[in-house]
Amino acid sequence: MAGSAHATLDAASRERGRRGSAGSARAVWPPAAVAAGFTLAQLLLVRPGMGLGWDETVYVSQVSGHAPASFFSAPRARGVSLLVAPVAAWSSSTALLRVYLALLSGLALFLALRAWRGLFPVRVVALGGALFASLWVTLFYGPQAMPNYGVAVAALAAVACFLRAPTDRGALWGLAGSAVLMAWMRPVDAVWTALPLLVLGLARRHRRTLLVLLAGLAAGAAQWVIEAYTSYGGLARRLSDGSAIQGGLGWHFAVVDQLRSLGGRTLCRPCTVPLPNPLLTLWWFALPLLAALALVLAVRARRTTATALPLACAATAAFPYLFLIGYAAPRFLLPAYALLALPVADALVRLLTPSAPPHRRTAAQSQGQGQSSPPARSPIRRPVVTALVCAGLAGHLAVQLTVLVHTVDNTTAAHRAWARTAAELDRRGVRPPCLVTGHEAIPVAFAARCASAATTGPNANITVDGIVGAARRAPVAVLVRAGSAPPRYARDWASVRVGEVRFYYVVPGAGS
Protein backbone atom coordinates (compact mmCIF):
# COMPACT_ATOMS: atom_id res chain seq x y z
CA MET A 1 0.00 0.00 0.00
CA ALA A 2 2.79 2.34 0.89
CA GLY A 3 4.47 1.68 -2.45
CA SER A 4 1.21 2.29 -4.24
CA ALA A 5 0.74 5.61 -2.42
CA HIS A 6 4.29 6.72 -3.28
CA ALA A 7 3.72 5.77 -6.90
CA THR A 8 0.52 7.78 -6.99
CA LEU A 9 2.27 10.83 -5.49
CA ASP A 10 5.16 10.51 -7.95
CA ALA A 11 2.74 10.32 -10.86
CA ALA A 12 0.87 13.39 -9.61
CA SER A 13 4.16 15.25 -9.22
CA ARG A 14 5.22 14.35 -12.74
CA GLU A 15 1.84 15.45 -14.08
CA ARG A 16 2.16 18.83 -12.33
CA GLY A 17 5.67 19.19 -13.73
CA ARG A 18 4.43 18.48 -17.26
CA ARG A 19 1.62 21.01 -16.85
CA GLY A 20 4.05 23.57 -15.45
CA SER A 21 6.43 23.04 -18.35
CA ALA A 22 3.60 23.39 -20.85
CA GLY A 23 2.38 26.54 -19.13
CA SER A 24 5.90 27.94 -19.07
CA ALA A 25 6.30 27.26 -22.80
CA ARG A 26 2.99 28.96 -23.52
CA ALA A 27 4.17 31.97 -21.51
CA VAL A 28 7.46 32.18 -23.44
CA TRP A 29 6.14 32.07 -26.99
CA PRO A 30 4.14 35.34 -27.16
CA PRO A 31 7.02 37.59 -25.94
CA ALA A 32 9.42 35.63 -28.14
CA ALA A 33 7.19 36.20 -31.17
CA VAL A 34 7.01 39.92 -30.41
CA ALA A 35 10.80 40.14 -30.10
CA ALA A 36 11.34 38.18 -33.33
CA GLY A 37 8.87 40.40 -35.18
CA PHE A 38 10.63 43.47 -33.82
CA THR A 39 13.99 42.25 -35.11
CA LEU A 40 12.57 41.37 -38.52
CA ALA A 41 10.82 44.75 -38.82
CA GLN A 42 14.10 46.54 -38.11
CA LEU A 43 15.93 44.60 -40.80
CA LEU A 44 13.20 45.26 -43.35
CA LEU A 45 12.28 48.87 -42.56
CA VAL A 46 15.50 50.41 -41.23
CA ARG A 47 17.98 49.74 -43.98
CA PRO A 48 21.18 48.05 -42.72
CA GLY A 49 23.14 50.14 -45.25
CA MET A 50 21.77 53.45 -43.95
CA GLY A 51 25.21 54.60 -42.79
CA LEU A 52 26.28 55.88 -39.39
CA GLY A 53 24.77 58.99 -37.84
CA TRP A 54 26.66 61.78 -36.07
CA ASP A 55 26.45 60.39 -32.53
CA GLU A 56 26.91 56.84 -33.76
CA THR A 57 30.17 57.90 -35.36
CA VAL A 58 31.46 59.18 -32.04
CA TYR A 59 30.64 55.94 -30.21
CA VAL A 60 31.82 53.57 -32.94
CA SER A 61 35.06 55.48 -33.58
CA GLN A 62 36.19 54.82 -30.01
CA VAL A 63 36.69 51.12 -30.79
CA SER A 64 37.01 51.08 -34.58
CA GLY A 65 40.26 50.92 -36.49
CA HIS A 66 38.58 52.57 -39.48
CA ALA A 67 39.45 56.14 -38.37
CA PRO A 68 40.88 58.02 -35.37
CA ALA A 69 38.54 58.32 -32.39
CA SER A 70 36.27 61.36 -32.41
CA PHE A 71 36.17 63.78 -29.50
CA PHE A 72 34.23 62.24 -26.59
CA SER A 73 32.30 64.99 -24.82
CA ALA A 74 31.44 65.03 -21.12
CA PRO A 75 27.82 63.75 -21.19
CA ARG A 76 28.66 60.60 -23.14
CA ALA A 77 29.30 57.19 -21.60
CA ARG A 78 31.33 54.29 -22.98
CA GLY A 79 28.57 51.66 -22.83
CA VAL A 80 27.60 51.92 -26.49
CA SER A 81 31.23 51.73 -27.61
CA LEU A 82 31.74 48.53 -25.64
CA LEU A 83 28.46 47.14 -26.95
CA VAL A 84 29.50 47.56 -30.60
CA ALA A 85 33.13 46.53 -30.07
CA PRO A 86 32.59 42.82 -30.99
CA VAL A 87 31.80 43.95 -34.56
CA ALA A 88 33.27 47.45 -34.94
CA ALA A 89 36.70 46.42 -33.66
CA TRP A 90 37.36 44.26 -36.73
CA SER A 91 34.86 45.33 -39.40
CA SER A 92 33.94 48.70 -40.90
CA SER A 93 30.70 47.33 -42.39
CA THR A 94 27.74 49.41 -41.25
CA ALA A 95 25.32 46.78 -42.58
CA LEU A 96 26.92 44.08 -40.43
CA LEU A 97 26.78 46.35 -37.39
CA ARG A 98 23.09 47.09 -38.01
CA VAL A 99 22.22 43.38 -38.24
CA TYR A 100 24.17 42.66 -35.05
CA LEU A 101 22.39 45.47 -33.16
CA ALA A 102 18.96 44.44 -34.51
CA LEU A 103 19.47 40.89 -33.23
CA LEU A 104 20.78 42.19 -29.92
CA SER A 105 17.86 44.60 -29.49
CA GLY A 106 15.34 41.82 -30.16
CA LEU A 107 17.01 39.57 -27.58
CA ALA A 108 17.07 42.39 -25.04
CA LEU A 109 13.35 43.07 -25.57
CA PHE A 110 12.52 39.39 -25.06
CA LEU A 111 14.49 39.23 -21.80
CA ALA A 112 12.88 42.44 -20.53
CA LEU A 113 9.38 41.15 -21.30
CA ARG A 114 10.20 37.75 -19.84
CA ALA A 115 11.04 39.42 -16.53
CA TRP A 116 7.37 40.44 -16.18
CA ARG A 117 6.03 36.87 -16.11
CA GLY A 118 3.54 36.49 -13.31
CA LEU A 119 3.23 40.24 -12.75
CA PHE A 120 0.89 40.72 -15.71
CA PRO A 121 -0.97 38.15 -17.84
CA VAL A 122 0.98 36.84 -20.82
CA ARG A 123 -1.30 38.57 -23.32
CA VAL A 124 -0.75 41.90 -21.55
CA VAL A 125 3.03 41.43 -21.62
CA ALA A 126 2.95 40.53 -25.32
CA LEU A 127 0.69 43.45 -26.21
CA GLY A 128 2.83 45.86 -24.18
CA GLY A 129 5.94 44.65 -25.96
CA ALA A 130 4.23 45.04 -29.33
CA LEU A 131 3.08 48.57 -28.51
CA PHE A 132 6.60 49.62 -27.56
CA ALA A 133 8.26 47.76 -30.44
CA SER A 134 5.92 49.25 -33.05
CA LEU A 135 6.74 52.89 -32.24
CA TRP A 136 8.71 54.46 -35.08
CA VAL A 137 11.30 55.76 -32.66
CA THR A 138 11.85 52.27 -31.19
CA LEU A 139 12.21 50.67 -34.62
CA PHE A 140 14.47 53.46 -35.83
CA TYR A 141 16.88 53.39 -32.89
CA GLY A 142 16.80 49.66 -32.12
CA PRO A 143 19.57 48.85 -34.66
CA GLN A 144 21.55 52.04 -34.02
CA ALA A 145 24.66 52.52 -31.91
CA MET A 146 22.88 54.81 -29.47
CA PRO A 147 22.31 54.48 -25.70
CA ASN A 148 18.61 55.27 -25.29
CA TYR A 149 17.15 51.94 -26.35
CA GLY A 150 19.54 50.14 -24.02
CA VAL A 151 18.39 52.29 -21.11
CA ALA A 152 14.77 51.61 -22.07
CA VAL A 153 14.89 47.81 -22.05
CA ALA A 154 17.13 47.76 -18.99
CA ALA A 155 14.68 49.99 -17.12
CA LEU A 156 11.76 47.76 -18.12
CA ALA A 157 13.58 44.68 -16.83
CA ALA A 158 14.82 46.45 -13.69
CA VAL A 159 11.32 47.39 -12.52
CA ALA A 160 10.06 43.84 -13.01
CA CYS A 161 13.03 42.32 -11.20
CA PHE A 162 12.63 44.84 -8.37
CA LEU A 163 9.00 43.74 -7.90
CA ARG A 164 9.95 40.06 -7.97
CA ALA A 165 13.06 40.31 -5.82
CA PRO A 166 11.45 39.97 -2.35
CA THR A 167 10.16 36.48 -3.23
CA ASP A 168 12.53 35.44 -6.03
CA ARG A 169 16.25 35.40 -5.37
CA GLY A 170 16.98 34.88 -9.04
CA ALA A 171 15.39 38.26 -9.75
CA LEU A 172 18.17 39.92 -7.75
CA TRP A 173 20.64 38.94 -10.47
CA GLY A 174 18.32 40.40 -13.09
CA LEU A 175 18.00 43.60 -11.07
CA ALA A 176 21.77 43.91 -10.73
CA GLY A 177 22.36 43.29 -14.45
CA SER A 178 19.64 45.73 -15.50
CA ALA A 179 20.97 48.45 -13.21
CA VAL A 180 24.49 47.92 -14.56
CA LEU A 181 23.27 48.21 -18.15
CA MET A 182 21.28 51.39 -17.46
CA ALA A 183 24.22 53.12 -15.79
CA TRP A 184 26.65 51.71 -18.33
CA MET A 185 24.69 53.40 -21.12
CA ARG A 186 23.73 56.72 -19.47
CA PRO A 187 24.55 57.11 -15.75
CA VAL A 188 22.47 60.25 -15.17
CA ASP A 189 19.43 58.76 -16.93
CA ALA A 190 19.81 55.62 -14.84
CA VAL A 191 19.59 57.62 -11.62
CA TRP A 192 16.50 59.52 -12.75
CA THR A 193 14.79 56.29 -13.83
CA ALA A 194 15.65 54.42 -10.63
CA LEU A 195 14.44 57.13 -8.22
CA PRO A 196 11.02 55.51 -7.56
CA LEU A 197 12.72 52.15 -6.98
CA LEU A 198 15.04 53.71 -4.43
CA VAL A 199 12.15 55.45 -2.66
CA LEU A 200 10.01 52.30 -2.54
CA GLY A 201 12.94 50.20 -1.37
CA LEU A 202 13.55 52.60 1.51
CA ALA A 203 9.86 52.86 2.39
CA ARG A 204 9.37 49.09 2.54
CA ARG A 205 12.81 48.44 4.02
CA HIS A 206 13.81 45.97 1.34
CA ARG A 207 17.45 46.25 2.35
CA ARG A 208 18.77 43.44 0.20
CA THR A 209 16.92 44.59 -2.92
CA LEU A 210 17.99 48.17 -2.33
CA LEU A 211 21.61 47.13 -1.83
CA VAL A 212 21.61 45.13 -5.09
CA LEU A 213 20.10 48.07 -7.01
CA LEU A 214 22.64 50.54 -5.62
CA ALA A 215 25.51 48.13 -6.28
CA GLY A 216 24.38 47.67 -9.88
CA LEU A 217 24.10 51.40 -10.51
CA ALA A 218 27.51 51.99 -8.93
CA ALA A 219 29.17 49.22 -10.93
CA GLY A 220 27.69 50.50 -14.21
CA ALA A 221 28.68 54.10 -13.53
CA ALA A 222 32.15 53.33 -12.11
CA GLN A 223 34.04 53.78 -15.37
CA TRP A 224 32.23 57.06 -16.11
CA VAL A 225 33.05 58.41 -12.65
CA ILE A 226 36.70 57.31 -12.82
CA GLU A 227 37.04 58.86 -16.28
CA ALA A 228 35.60 62.09 -14.88
CA TYR A 229 38.64 62.39 -12.61
CA THR A 230 41.21 61.20 -15.13
CA SER A 231 40.03 63.18 -18.18
CA TYR A 232 37.48 65.84 -17.25
CA GLY A 233 38.77 67.48 -14.08
CA GLY A 234 36.55 65.65 -11.60
CA LEU A 235 32.96 64.51 -11.27
CA ALA A 236 31.52 67.95 -10.53
CA ARG A 237 33.36 69.42 -13.52
CA ARG A 238 32.12 66.66 -15.83
CA LEU A 239 28.54 67.17 -14.70
CA SER A 240 28.93 70.91 -15.16
CA ASP A 241 30.44 70.52 -18.64
CA GLY A 242 27.69 68.07 -19.57
CA SER A 243 25.06 70.58 -18.47
CA ALA A 244 26.70 73.34 -20.52
CA ILE A 245 26.88 71.14 -23.62
CA GLN A 246 23.17 70.41 -23.27
CA GLY A 247 22.38 74.11 -23.13
CA GLY A 248 22.44 74.49 -19.37
CA LEU A 249 20.18 72.32 -17.23
CA GLY A 250 17.37 74.34 -15.69
CA TRP A 251 13.69 74.96 -16.11
CA HIS A 252 12.89 74.53 -19.82
CA PHE A 253 9.41 73.60 -20.97
CA ALA A 254 10.38 71.18 -23.73
CA VAL A 255 7.02 69.41 -24.06
CA VAL A 256 6.17 71.33 -27.22
CA ASP A 257 9.66 70.67 -28.58
CA GLN A 258 9.10 66.95 -28.11
CA LEU A 259 5.83 67.27 -29.99
CA ARG A 260 7.62 68.98 -32.87
CA SER A 261 10.15 66.15 -33.05
CA LEU A 262 7.49 63.45 -33.35
CA GLY A 263 7.09 64.17 -37.05
CA GLY A 264 10.41 62.46 -37.74
CA ARG A 265 13.08 64.95 -36.64
CA THR A 266 15.87 63.01 -34.98
CA LEU A 267 17.17 66.19 -33.32
CA CYS A 268 15.24 69.40 -32.76
CA ARG A 269 17.86 71.98 -31.72
CA PRO A 270 16.88 74.76 -31.95
CA CYS A 271 13.32 73.51 -32.20
CA THR A 272 11.62 76.18 -34.27
CA VAL A 273 9.92 73.96 -36.85
CA PRO A 274 6.10 73.89 -37.09
CA LEU A 275 4.12 71.32 -35.17
CA PRO A 276 3.46 68.15 -37.19
CA ASN A 277 0.01 67.10 -38.35
CA PRO A 278 -2.18 66.36 -35.28
CA LEU A 279 -2.77 62.84 -36.61
CA LEU A 280 0.94 62.13 -36.06
CA THR A 281 0.85 63.19 -32.41
CA LEU A 282 -2.56 61.95 -31.30
CA TRP A 283 -1.05 58.78 -29.79
CA TRP A 284 1.25 60.91 -27.64
CA PHE A 285 -1.71 62.68 -26.03
CA ALA A 286 -3.46 59.33 -25.51
CA LEU A 287 -0.54 57.92 -23.52
CA PRO A 288 -1.10 59.84 -20.25
CA LEU A 289 -4.86 59.22 -20.45
CA LEU A 290 -4.39 55.48 -20.87
CA ALA A 291 -1.76 55.47 -18.11
CA ALA A 292 -4.23 57.16 -15.75
CA LEU A 293 -6.91 54.64 -16.70
CA ALA A 294 -4.48 51.79 -16.06
CA LEU A 295 -3.75 53.15 -12.59
CA VAL A 296 -7.46 53.49 -11.76
CA LEU A 297 -8.15 49.91 -12.88
CA ALA A 298 -5.16 48.64 -10.91
CA VAL A 299 -6.34 50.35 -7.73
CA ARG A 300 -9.80 48.82 -8.13
CA ALA A 301 -8.23 45.39 -8.65
CA ARG A 302 -6.02 45.87 -5.55
CA ARG A 303 -2.75 45.26 -7.43
CA THR A 304 -1.54 48.81 -7.51
CA THR A 305 2.23 48.38 -7.17
CA ALA A 306 2.82 46.44 -10.41
CA THR A 307 1.16 49.27 -12.34
CA ALA A 308 2.10 52.32 -10.29
CA LEU A 309 5.83 51.57 -10.09
CA PRO A 310 6.56 51.48 -13.87
CA LEU A 311 4.37 54.57 -14.28
CA ALA A 312 6.37 56.40 -11.61
CA CYS A 313 9.67 55.36 -13.20
CA ALA A 314 8.38 56.51 -16.60
CA ALA A 315 7.56 59.91 -15.10
CA THR A 316 10.99 60.40 -13.52
CA ALA A 317 12.75 59.14 -16.67
CA ALA A 318 10.86 61.64 -18.83
CA PHE A 319 11.00 64.60 -16.44
CA PRO A 320 14.48 65.99 -17.29
CA TYR A 321 13.81 65.75 -21.03
CA LEU A 322 10.42 67.45 -20.76
CA PHE A 323 11.29 70.18 -18.26
CA LEU A 324 15.06 70.59 -17.79
CA ILE A 325 16.59 70.58 -21.30
CA GLY A 326 15.92 73.27 -23.89
CA TYR A 327 15.77 71.05 -26.96
CA ALA A 328 14.29 67.71 -27.99
CA ALA A 329 14.98 64.39 -29.64
CA PRO A 330 12.36 61.63 -29.73
CA ARG A 331 14.86 59.01 -28.57
CA PHE A 332 15.19 60.76 -25.20
CA LEU A 333 11.78 59.42 -24.15
CA LEU A 334 12.36 55.78 -25.14
CA PRO A 335 12.74 54.64 -21.48
CA ALA A 336 9.45 56.33 -20.60
CA TYR A 337 7.68 54.69 -23.55
CA ALA A 338 8.98 51.25 -22.55
CA LEU A 339 7.81 51.67 -18.95
CA LEU A 340 4.39 52.96 -19.99
CA ALA A 341 3.80 50.11 -22.45
CA LEU A 342 2.70 47.35 -20.07
CA PRO A 343 0.30 49.43 -17.92
CA VAL A 344 -1.24 50.86 -21.10
CA ALA A 345 -1.54 47.37 -22.57
CA ASP A 346 -3.23 46.21 -19.38
CA ALA A 347 -5.79 49.01 -19.67
CA LEU A 348 -6.47 48.14 -23.32
CA VAL A 349 -6.89 44.44 -22.57
CA ARG A 350 -9.36 45.24 -19.79
CA LEU A 351 -11.31 47.45 -22.17
CA LEU A 352 -11.47 44.61 -24.69
CA THR A 353 -12.23 41.81 -22.21
CA PRO A 354 -15.87 41.14 -21.26
CA SER A 355 -16.57 41.53 -17.53
CA ALA A 356 -16.59 38.30 -15.61
CA PRO A 357 -20.01 37.25 -14.23
CA PRO A 358 -20.55 37.63 -10.48
CA HIS A 359 -19.45 34.73 -8.27
CA ARG A 360 -22.31 32.27 -8.06
CA ARG A 361 -23.36 31.00 -4.67
CA THR A 362 -23.23 27.30 -3.93
CA ALA A 363 -26.44 25.29 -3.90
CA ALA A 364 -26.33 25.08 -0.10
CA GLN A 365 -25.95 28.85 0.22
CA SER A 366 -28.82 29.45 -2.19
CA GLN A 367 -31.07 27.04 -0.32
CA GLY A 368 -30.09 28.47 3.05
CA GLN A 369 -30.79 32.03 1.97
CA GLY A 370 -33.69 31.20 -0.27
CA GLN A 371 -32.11 33.29 -3.07
CA SER A 372 -30.51 32.61 -6.39
CA SER A 373 -27.44 34.36 -7.71
CA PRO A 374 -28.15 37.42 -9.86
CA PRO A 375 -27.72 36.95 -13.60
CA ALA A 376 -24.62 38.38 -15.25
CA ARG A 377 -25.15 41.70 -16.95
CA SER A 378 -24.49 41.73 -20.68
CA PRO A 379 -21.90 44.34 -21.72
CA ILE A 380 -24.05 46.34 -24.13
CA ARG A 381 -21.32 48.79 -25.04
CA ARG A 382 -18.54 46.24 -25.39
CA PRO A 383 -18.66 45.93 -29.23
CA VAL A 384 -18.45 49.70 -29.57
CA VAL A 385 -15.44 49.91 -27.25
CA THR A 386 -13.76 47.00 -29.05
CA ALA A 387 -14.28 48.61 -32.44
CA LEU A 388 -12.92 51.95 -31.24
CA VAL A 389 -9.82 50.40 -29.64
CA CYS A 390 -9.06 48.26 -32.70
CA ALA A 391 -9.52 51.21 -35.04
CA GLY A 392 -7.28 53.34 -32.83
CA LEU A 393 -4.55 50.69 -32.82
CA ALA A 394 -4.76 50.27 -36.61
CA GLY A 395 -4.49 54.03 -37.13
CA HIS A 396 -1.63 54.18 -34.65
CA LEU A 397 0.34 51.53 -36.56
CA ALA A 398 -0.26 53.34 -39.86
CA VAL A 399 1.04 56.60 -38.37
CA GLN A 400 4.16 54.91 -36.96
CA LEU A 401 4.96 53.26 -40.27
CA THR A 402 4.49 56.51 -42.18
CA VAL A 403 6.81 58.49 -39.91
CA LEU A 404 9.38 55.67 -39.87
CA VAL A 405 9.61 55.47 -43.67
CA HIS A 406 9.90 59.26 -43.92
CA THR A 407 12.62 59.38 -41.25
CA VAL A 408 14.64 56.53 -42.74
CA ASP A 409 14.53 58.13 -46.20
CA ASN A 410 15.69 61.52 -44.91
CA THR A 411 18.40 60.04 -42.72
CA THR A 412 19.71 57.84 -45.53
CA ALA A 413 19.89 60.83 -47.85
CA ALA A 414 21.87 62.84 -45.29
CA HIS A 415 24.30 59.99 -44.67
CA ARG A 416 24.85 59.52 -48.40
CA ALA A 417 25.67 63.22 -48.71
CA TRP A 418 28.38 62.77 -46.06
CA ALA A 419 29.72 59.77 -47.99
CA ARG A 420 29.86 61.81 -51.23
CA THR A 421 31.81 64.57 -49.48
CA ALA A 422 34.21 61.99 -48.04
CA ALA A 423 34.72 60.43 -51.46
CA GLU A 424 35.50 63.82 -52.99
CA LEU A 425 37.98 64.55 -50.20
CA ASP A 426 39.76 61.31 -51.00
CA ARG A 427 39.77 62.16 -54.73
CA ARG A 428 41.37 65.55 -53.94
CA GLY A 429 44.15 63.92 -51.92
CA VAL A 430 42.78 64.42 -48.40
CA ARG A 431 43.68 60.92 -47.23
CA PRO A 432 44.98 59.44 -43.97
CA PRO A 433 46.69 60.77 -42.02
CA CYS A 434 44.40 63.77 -42.45
CA LEU A 435 42.28 66.20 -40.47
CA VAL A 436 38.75 67.49 -41.15
CA THR A 437 37.11 70.37 -39.31
CA GLY A 438 34.09 72.62 -39.71
CA HIS A 439 30.44 71.91 -40.58
CA GLU A 440 29.47 68.25 -39.90
CA ALA A 441 33.13 67.35 -39.64
CA ILE A 442 32.70 64.35 -37.31
CA PRO A 443 30.68 62.04 -39.62
CA VAL A 444 32.46 63.20 -42.79
CA ALA A 445 35.89 62.71 -41.22
CA PHE A 446 34.99 59.19 -40.08
CA ALA A 447 33.76 58.29 -43.57
CA ALA A 448 37.01 59.72 -45.03
CA ARG A 449 39.10 57.86 -42.40
CA CYS A 450 40.43 61.18 -41.10
CA ALA A 451 40.64 62.69 -37.63
CA SER A 452 38.04 65.34 -36.78
CA ALA A 453 38.51 68.56 -34.83
CA ALA A 454 36.61 71.68 -33.78
CA THR A 455 37.75 75.04 -32.44
CA THR A 456 34.38 75.97 -30.92
CA GLY A 457 31.21 74.35 -29.68
CA PRO A 458 30.64 71.22 -27.55
CA ASN A 459 33.28 69.23 -29.44
CA ALA A 460 36.05 71.86 -29.27
CA ASN A 461 39.38 70.06 -28.98
CA ILE A 462 41.87 72.17 -30.97
CA THR A 463 42.91 75.77 -31.58
CA VAL A 464 43.21 77.64 -34.86
CA ASP A 465 47.00 77.53 -34.48
CA GLY A 466 46.74 73.77 -34.07
CA ILE A 467 44.86 73.44 -37.37
CA VAL A 468 47.31 75.69 -39.21
CA GLY A 469 50.22 73.70 -37.80
CA ALA A 470 48.60 70.41 -38.85
CA ALA A 471 48.12 71.78 -42.39
CA ARG A 472 51.89 72.10 -42.75
CA ARG A 473 52.37 68.38 -42.10
CA ALA A 474 49.28 66.57 -43.42
CA PRO A 475 46.18 67.09 -45.58
CA VAL A 476 43.58 69.27 -43.86
CA ALA A 477 40.07 70.22 -44.97
CA VAL A 478 37.53 72.63 -43.49
CA LEU A 479 33.83 72.22 -44.32
CA VAL A 480 31.41 75.13 -44.57
CA ARG A 481 27.84 75.47 -45.73
CA ALA A 482 27.65 76.41 -49.41
CA GLY A 483 27.57 80.20 -49.65
CA SER A 484 29.27 80.77 -46.29
CA ALA A 485 32.75 82.23 -45.91
CA PRO A 486 35.61 79.97 -44.82
CA PRO A 487 37.77 80.67 -41.76
CA ARG A 488 40.48 83.24 -42.34
CA TYR A 489 43.27 80.65 -42.32
CA ALA A 490 41.64 78.70 -45.20
CA ARG A 491 40.76 81.55 -47.56
CA ASP A 492 43.68 80.82 -49.89
CA TRP A 493 43.12 77.06 -49.96
CA ALA A 494 41.61 75.25 -52.94
CA SER A 495 37.89 74.61 -52.64
CA VAL A 496 35.25 72.24 -54.02
CA ARG A 497 31.48 72.27 -53.66
CA VAL A 498 29.67 68.99 -53.00
CA GLY A 499 25.92 69.42 -52.73
CA GLU A 500 25.10 71.80 -49.86
CA VAL A 501 28.70 71.82 -48.57
CA ARG A 502 31.89 73.46 -49.79
CA PHE A 503 35.21 72.28 -48.43
CA TYR A 504 38.53 74.15 -48.48
CA TYR A 505 41.56 71.91 -48.41
CA VAL A 506 45.33 71.83 -48.48
CA VAL A 507 47.58 68.87 -49.26
CA PRO A 508 51.23 69.58 -48.35
CA GLY A 509 53.59 68.78 -51.19
CA ALA A 510 50.78 68.57 -53.78
CA GLY A 511 50.81 72.23 -54.82
CA SER A 512 47.32 73.00 -53.47
For range 126-139, the mean pLDDT: 97
| Burial letters 93-132, b for 16+ CB under 10 A, else e | ebeebbbbbbebbbebbbbbbbbbbebbbbebbbbbbbbb
Q: What is the pLDDT of residue 355?
A: 59
Which pTM was predicted?
Answer: 0.90
AA letter at 67: A
Query: 158: closest CA among 231, 204, 217?
Result: 217
What is the DSSP code string of 128-139? Answer: HHHHHHTSHHHH
Helix (H) or strand (E) holding 230: helix 207-231
Radius of gyration of the chain (CA): 27
For range 39-43, the mean pLDDT: 97
Q: What is the dihedral of CA 412, 413, 417, 418, to 10 degrees?
A: -30
Q: Indicate whether 31 pLDDT > 60.
A: yes
Q: How confident is the model at residue 297 (pLDDT cuts 50, 70, 90)?
A: very high
Q: What is the pLDDT of residue 155?
A: 98
61 in Cβ contact with 69 (< 8 Å):
yes
What are the C-alpha distances in Å from 378 to residues 217, 356, 382?
51, 10, 9
Q: Indicate whether 112 pLDDT > 70.
A: yes
| Burial letters 378-400, b for 16+ CB under 10 A, else e | eeeeeeeeeeeeeeebeebeebb
For 259-291, how does the pLDDT look when each residue is reduced to its tens digit (9 = 90+)? 999 999 999 888 888 899 999 999 999 999 999
* CB within 8 Å of 314: residues ≥ 6 apart: 291, 335, 336, 337, 339, 340
AA letter at 458: P
Q: What is the pLDDT of residue 302?
A: 85
What are the C-alpha distances in Å from 229 to residues 170, 188, 320?
35, 17, 25
AA letter at 181: L
Q: What is the pLDDT of residue 269?
A: 87
Query: 46: closest CA among 240, 246, 264, 296?
Result: 264
Cα gap 407→389, rounded to integer Å = 27
Terminal CA-CA length for the chain: 102
Cα gap 482→500, rounded to integer Å = 5
> How many C-alpha atoms does 12 have within 13 Å on its Cβ side?
6
Q: Indicate whether 511 pLDDT > 80.
A: no
Cα gap 269→53, rounded to integer Å = 16
For 71-108, how does the pLDDT look when each residue is reduced to its tens digit (9 = 90+)? 999 999 999 999 999 999 999 999 999 999 999 999 99
Q: What is the pLDDT of residue 25?
A: 66
Cα gap 153→133, rounded to integer Å = 11
Q: What is the pLDDT of residue 280?
A: 93
For range 21-28, the mean pLDDT: 65
Query: Which is it for strands 501-506 and 435-438: parallel, antiparallel or unpaired?
Result: unpaired
- Sequence-separated contacts (24+) of 281-290 with Cβ below 8 Å: 282/399, 283/396, 283/399, 283/400, 284/258, 284/259, 286/392, 287/337, 287/340, 287/344, 290/343, 290/344, 290/347, 290/348
Q: What is the pLDDT of residue 250?
A: 87
Q: How confident is the model at residue 386 (pLDDT cuts 50, 70, 90)?
A: confident
| Burial letters 230-266, b for 16+ CB under 10 A, else e | eebeeeeebbbbbbeebeebeebebeebbbbbbbbbb
Phi, psi angle pair for 77, to nearest 5°: -125, 160
Looking at 46-78, list the stretches that DSSP marks H as alpha helix, in order from N- to C-terminal side. Answer: 54-61
Q: What is the pLDDT of residue 247?
A: 79
For range 108-126, the mean pLDDT: 96
Query: Which is it for strands 476-481 and 451-453: parallel, antiparallel or unpaired?
Result: unpaired
Q: What is the pLDDT of residue 366?
A: 38
What is the DSSP code string of 363-400? Answer: HHHHHHHT--PPPPPP-TTHHHHHHHHHHHHHHHHHHH
Q: What is the pLDDT of residue 362?
A: 41
For 216-243, how does the pLDDT look when each residue is reduced to its tens digit (9 = 90+)? 999 999 999 999 999 999 999 999 999 9
